[in-house]
Structure 1
């Protein structure tokens, strides 16, 4: 591992920020931007947007067996969410690179759900995902650090498994293109794919968006998206850990494993923005930096302006620093008001003109909001058992790419266009995986621009 960092926009877009390059320009062909239309145009084309029915439990059916790949906290949580989503559901296999993660997962599944996973169905190593896929499962839950997601999604589709994949779906454009190709193939095979960004499965968010897209506060003109919170966890290096073990155990602080927090965490809010706008930016201008992080190579904060083909602009900013003001803003600006995507509409004077009912004080089950982490699995299991195939893989791949576009703009200090990031040869991380030395990973944040000289 190295301790120096120097990059330029040209080098960053043509090669990896860490290790290796890949000649994958145009590997999937041109990916068109989604079209956006006004509320009046939408009504002319097909009437007002309707809210789909959301079940609070998946229908009964034959036993569905699931395997979990990635047994950390989020993976274990996803396994429990799957089991809570309906009847006749089982977790039957576990895979991770660390035995202690598998042991902790098994203990929690036993404690919370009285589920016991036999030793012969617990697989350790970088190839454990292949063994999980070959263990007789119907569904796979992909919850490793996102660097590994493209290869795992591709293998799951090849194995004809239904997929839950945690967000984000990649850390670099090479991975995004690989996921897009895989989920397109999944569509042709009638496989169901659900991603873990949660808001598109959350009833209060869905109803708020339905009202905005139906024109209740006019046409969308932009968005202001903020997520400020405290620092995430980190692991200090132990003498007995190799480079690889250190980075994997501290994955949320290394860009090649997590994509930095603009991609790993802020994707939730940026995905909400994309969901509303129905189109992707043509250019990103960004800035950011690091003041407090003590391990890894990532930033503490980002601020990104996205430009769209109609001249619209959106602003997205995120921070992970303790001791600062925290808060989340998901504001969609419109001609006659603005929306809080979590459940409120305002007029231009800031007066609330509609609010999603407080479910704690409202006995009407129509407004009940199921835990969105469980609702995703309800939707997945329901689709499998009814034959009404669902696949949000492309949407999540595009949202991942929008976050990467902003990250590269901030890292380099240069504007980045959609075409550049879509076709960039960036590949983050090593090409082979062993618990040993990892050459070329820089444990220092990228520095934008050039060094000032006297």
Structure 2
């Protein structure tokens, strides 16, 4: 499809003239075997973003990667080499030196070249980039988590509403929802297999997800250092309670048929070793008691410290039995008898359904299938973790309404942001970064 026609039709969609999924898809020229290739752009060239692009390029839908954007040129070059190595048909990778966009503002130009934008940046940057992608009329893959504070949460919801008006497809990286095993067990829960749920638990307890052992180079600004180690800084990643634990929190929201909890009371802690994820400007352990409607109490455990007991899964307790989800999922009645089991052998792996997300998105766009927009539940799951983080940092019990009305921003991403900008947190004279102090830290 010619570029000028695409821009023209995107403008019509923005104006609300093309209102139905079919009208939009037809205008873009995506109609099965007669369609051209979908043009893809990758914003944020880390492992997950690269993996998502790789899955899209290897899938059945004709596509080509035309642009890449990242804060760092070496990240673009290294991940482009990975893609070239992993794709037999290198003709589908059309990134040139002119379509590599470096720096905090490069995403705008990359988005302009694409039909589908893959956003794999740290969570702090996603609301602004997602907003721009939707403004330009592009379909989006939005990796989780999607925001780090209430301000970003509202940006995502507002952009998602515009995406719905324009019928722009949005897929989110909460890939457990694509697992047949999870779908089967959630269906059993929703069908009343364990009766009325009164309590639940979820865990993501594992090793560090950040690494500050890599040396700091003399020519790096502090902003560059922190962004090259973004998982270790809570302002960029949101901390471990959303960077990984978001998967568990999303399953809880899904299983309870509730978009969000009513309130939370949390407590957290930091290892004295500053190399651990979330320990710089945040906590690397958070325990929360979320309250949901109908009196459901849910305990959440998020920890990323090495050499400790690991645990990952979700548990539900009801009037007729319980559900245990780990690598497999089992339902027991109140006598401890197994009444349903979904195994990875029968249903496939419960985790790692990344390729299914990309296949669904690409197929839906290309073949004009039923419209979907996953940005809302991704935002709700992210905000659930944010609420827990806010409670742990402040020491306060917070309601959902209070948390979502907070005006405290972890990072203000503007058109002037650059690698010479000052990051949100700085070391003190002793080389230490600040730590939240419950009872003093302001989150509202």
TM-score (norm 2): 0.83
**Other-structure match for 1:377:** 358
1:254 and 1:298 in contact (8 A); partners too: yes
Q: Which runs of 5+ in 2 are unaligned?
A: 1-31, 427-432
Match in the other structure for 1:291: 271
Q: Identify the residue that residue 107 of structure 1 maps to in structure 2.
A: 81
Shift, 1:388, TM fit? 1.0
2:254 equivalent to 1:275? yes
The CA distance in 2 between the partners of 1:418 and 1:240, in whole Å, is 43
Q: CA RMSD in A?
A: 2.0
Deviation at 1:444, TM superposition (A): 2.3
Tell me the residue number matched to 2:384: 402
Of 122, 139, 142, the residue aligned with 1:165 is: 142
Alignment of 1:40-439 (within 5 A): 62=35, 63-114=37-88, 115=90, 116=93, 117-135=95-113, 137-235=114-212, 236-279=215-258, 280-295=260-275, 296-341=280-325, 342-359=328-345, 367-368=347-348, 372-384=353-365, 385-431=367-413, 432-438=416-422
Q: Deviations over 1:55-81 (max 9, x none)?
A: xxxx76622111100011121111112
User: Closer, same or farther in 2 for the Cα pair 1:103/1:379, shift >3 Å?
Assistant: same
* Deviation string, structure 1 residues 360-410 (Cα, Å, up to 9, x no partner): xx6xxxx45695100111111222123311101111111111111000100
Greater RCO, CA 8 A, separation 6+:
1
Counterparts of 1:3-22 in structure 2 under 5 Å?
none
CA shift in 2, pair 1:133/1:214, >3 Å: same
1:312 deviates by 1.8
**In the comparison of the two structures, how many residue pairs are matched?**
387
User: Per the alignment, do residues 180 and 436 of structure 1 end up closer, same or farther by CA in structure 2, a change over 3 Å counting?
Assistant: same
1:253–1:298 contact (8 Å) kept in structure 2: no
Q: Determine the structure 2 residue equivalent to 1:4.
A: none
SS at match of 2:373: coil
The answer to whether the 8 Å contact 2:103/2:418 transfers is no
Structure 2 distance, partners of 1:429, 1:440, is 6
Provide the C-alpha distance between the structure 2 equivalents of 1:216 and 1:183, rounded to a whole number of angstroms: 34
Q: What's the secondary structure of 1:330's corresponding residue?
A: strand
Where 2:56 maps in the other structure, the secondary structure is helix
Q: CA deviation at 1:413?
A: 1.0
Aligned equivalents of 1:109, 1:138: Cα separation in 2: 19
